[in-house]
């Protein structure tokens, strides 16, 4: 993907040159000159400075300087770079600690400006001042909101690009002096625990890469399992320790019970079959042999995704990790639920988005989405015209909303074009939605629900749905969401819904409104930190990491936007 395609035209067209600062008349104050420069091009805010790769956005700079009375930040009264400039330079050159590219903020061109301003401040100071401020605004914008519009990466990403607006806070951050600059600017990063976890993982991986990385672990040519002894076992112990899985080295080359336990934990945490066996073509060895550099790129892509979220998530919220296929619910007491989900397949991806639950739907109908009806159900009906009856489904004509007898339809001649019906599955334990549905507010018919295929929650690979999210503990979730309403305890709900074919519910398609909406976040994160501090890396089933990494690598400072 060419990043130029996603840049607004105004960023690359109509660029105007401004004359860089002439010999400064020192009678004119620095604030007045700065104000003149950052307000002179408001109608066409991009100006091309003397050192070529940066594009100045004067409208953004004006927002920074206007709140500080247009006082200079990076030069002293003589126009030379001050200690703040030195502190920011060091900070930007270490931007990779946040998974950002230092050269996007302080490259050879701005370093050239730094040197030129040191030697000839009277001529160069204003150019340097504005370039450094642009680098600062770009950095905090990327740190807090991300580097590009996530919706333009792919159709399954529904987060919109956030706008950076915290100029008053940014001015405060640079007003306390160089000693607190790092801490003050770090405060613009996402503050939720997942981001902090990835910061920690990134630092560990960078340290391991700097110390030489790790060697490839090769299969001994036979399966490793409990009781086997082989030198590769000691290599595996060391690698597990490097990834944060606590295991002693006392067992040496023996595949003992401790090693078996850690291996199974690693397999489960990383989306692999937890069988305690390392075969000759094992997924375990494949997962362990990714280099630190490869894992660093994966972490950086996932840190970018976390910037799409609000800086602070609500204390009470649901977070579904679409990559690990796991559901978590948090409230004031901490984590309330953590269980498995079944999410969209690779070719029917569940979208990354923010949404909310406003009501719970008990004993729901399932109205089959037209896309599923055409792609999945119509071929089955051609094979077996009694398919609907066997699965407790009815056929309804779209034009009249009247039920139609499926036996009157010539299914062999039916096509997508003349399929003028919709299919509805009646409530019951065999309903595809199970006995409870959690509707969301999005326009893509994506929601969470119970399921009649509960066996799938025990599988290691759970990207099996057509896009919606199936929940392992739906009744418990319903009871939690309705806990402030009498008559909807877990016991009450279990007695209200049909848990077997012999029970007929008292009310069909019952809607119970929540007193307060529950925020829901769907995000595709292939890297997490386990509760014990271990690193989790999940295969990129959706290919989203690849697309995000490509977008990151294609960005160039000269093509920048905010």
Q: Which two tokens stand for residue 32?
A: 């007045």
pLDDT at 555: 59
- Look at strands 469-471 and 448-449 and give their pairing: parallel
Q: How far is the C-alpha of 249 from the C-alpha of 385, rounded, in Å?
A: 63
Torsional class of 384: left (φ above 0), alpha (ψ -120 to 50), beta (otherwise): beta
Residue 7: band (very low, low, confident or very high) from pLDDT cuts 50, 70, 90? very low
Nearest Cα neighbor of 187 from 351, 528, 195, 556 is 195
pLDDT at 26: 42
Compute the Cα dihedral for 424, 430, 435, 439 and give only its sign.
Answer: negative
pLDDT at 559: 43
Contact 542, 346 (CB under 8 A): yes
| Three-class SS state of 155 | coil
Checking if the pLDDT of 500 tops 70, the result is no
Taking only the tens place, the pLDDT of each residue in 57-85 is: 788 899 999 999 999 999 998 999 999 99
Q: Which two tokens stand for residue 217?
A: 């672990």
Q: Mean pLDDT of all residues in the chain?
A: 90
Query: Cα-flanking dihedrals φ and ψ of residue 25, to 5°?
Result: -85, 110
pLDDT at 14: 28
pLDDT at 556: 52
Taking each helix axis from N to C end, the angle separating 544-554 and 292-306, rounded to the nearest 10 degrees, works out to 90
Between vectors from CA 370 to CA 365 and to CA 374, what angle results, nearest 5°? Answer: 120
Q: How far is the C-alpha of 536 from the C-alpha of 243, rounded, in Å?
A: 8
Whether this prediction's pTM lies above 0.85 is answered by yes
DSSP 31: H
Taking only the tens place, the pLDDT of each residue in 282-319 is: 999 999 999 999 999 999 999 999 999 999 999 999 99
pLDDT at 341: 99
Q: Distance from CA of residue 344 to its chain's centroid?
A: 16
| Three-class SS state of 425 | strand
H helices, E strands: number in the chain: 18, 17
DSSP 215: P
Taking only the tens place, the pLDDT of each residue in 258-272 is: 999 999 999 999 999
pLDDT at 502: 63
DSSP 503: -
- Look at strands 469-471 and 334-344 and give their pairing: antiparallel
Residue in this structure with the two tokens 């951050």, named with its chain if needed: 173
Residue spans of the domains in the chain: they are: 3-190, 366-426
The percent of residues in the chain predicted with pLDDT above 90, rounded, is 79
With the CA atoms of 425, 430, 436 and 439 taken in that order, what torsion angle do they form, in degrees rounded to the nearest 10?
A: -40
């Amino acid at each position: 993907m060419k990043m130029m395609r996603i840049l607004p035209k105004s960023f690359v067209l109509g660029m105007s040159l401004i004359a860089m600062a002439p010999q400064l008349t020192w009678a004119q104050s620095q604030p007045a000159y700065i104000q003149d420069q950052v307000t002179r091009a408001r109608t066409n805010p991009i100006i091309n400075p003397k050192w070529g790769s940066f594009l100045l956005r004067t409208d953004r700079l004006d927002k920074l300087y206007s709140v500080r009375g247009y006082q200079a930040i990076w030069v002293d009264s003589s126009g030379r770079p001050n200690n703040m400039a030195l502190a920011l330079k060091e900070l930007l050159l270490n931007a990779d600690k946040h998974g950002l590219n230092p050269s996007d903020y302080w490259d050879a061109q701005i370093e050239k400006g730094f040197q030129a301003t040191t030697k000839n401040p009277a001529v160069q100071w204003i150019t340097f001042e504005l370039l450094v401020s642009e680098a600062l605004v770009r950095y905090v914008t990327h740190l807090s909101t991300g580097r590009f519009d996530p919706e333009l990466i792919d159709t399954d990403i529904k987060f919109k690009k956030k706008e950076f607006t915290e100029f008053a806070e940014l001015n405060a951050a640079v007003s306390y002096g160089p000693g607190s600059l790092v801490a003050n600017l770090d405060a613009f990063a996402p503050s939720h625990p997942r981001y902090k976890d990835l910061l920690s993982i990134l630092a560990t991986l960078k340290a391991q890469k700097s110390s030489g990385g790790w060697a490839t672990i090769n299969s001994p040519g036979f399966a490793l399992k409990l009781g086997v002894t082989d030198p590769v076992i000691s290599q595996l112990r060391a690698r597990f320790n490097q990834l944060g899985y606590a295991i002693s080295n006392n067992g040496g080359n023996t595949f003992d019970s401790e090693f078996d336990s850690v291996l199974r934990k690693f397999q489960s945490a990383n989306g692999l079959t937890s069988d305690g066996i390392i075969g000759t073509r094992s997924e375990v060895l494949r997962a362990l042999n990714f280099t630190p550099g490869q894992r660093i790129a994966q972490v950086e892509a996932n840190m970018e995704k976390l910037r799409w979220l609000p800086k602070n998530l609500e204390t009470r919220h649901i977070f579904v990790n679409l990559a690990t296929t796991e559901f978590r619910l948090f409230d004031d007491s901490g984590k309330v639920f953590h269980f498995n989900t079944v999410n969209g397949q690779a070719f029917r991806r569940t979208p990354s988005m923010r949404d909310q639950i406003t009501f719970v739907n008990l004993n729901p109908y399932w109205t089959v989405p037209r896309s599923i009806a055409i792609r999945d159900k119509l071929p089955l009906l051609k094979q077996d015209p009694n398919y609907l009856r066997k699965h407790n489904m009815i056929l309804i004509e779209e034009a009249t909303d009247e039920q139609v007898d499926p036996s009157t339809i010539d299914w062999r001649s039916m096509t997508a074009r003349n399929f003028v019906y919709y299919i509805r599955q009646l409530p019951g334990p065999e309903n595809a939605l199970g006995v409870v549905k959690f509707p969301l507010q999005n326009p893509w018919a994506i929601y969470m629900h119970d399921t009649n295929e509960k066996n799938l929650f025990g599988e290691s690979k759970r990207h099996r749905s057509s896009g919606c999210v199936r929940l392992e503990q739906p009744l418990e979730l319903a009871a939690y969401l309705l806990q402030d309403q009498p008559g909807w305890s877990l016991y009450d709900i279990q007695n209200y819904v049909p848990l077997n074919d012999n029970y007929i519910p008292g009310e069909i398609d019952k809607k119970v409104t929540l007193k307060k909406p529950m925020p829901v976040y769907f995000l595709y994160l292939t890297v997490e930190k386990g509760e014990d501090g271990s690193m989790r890396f999940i295969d990129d089933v959706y290919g989203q990491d690849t697309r995000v990494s490509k977008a990151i690598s294609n960005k160039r400072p000269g093509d920048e936007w905010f």
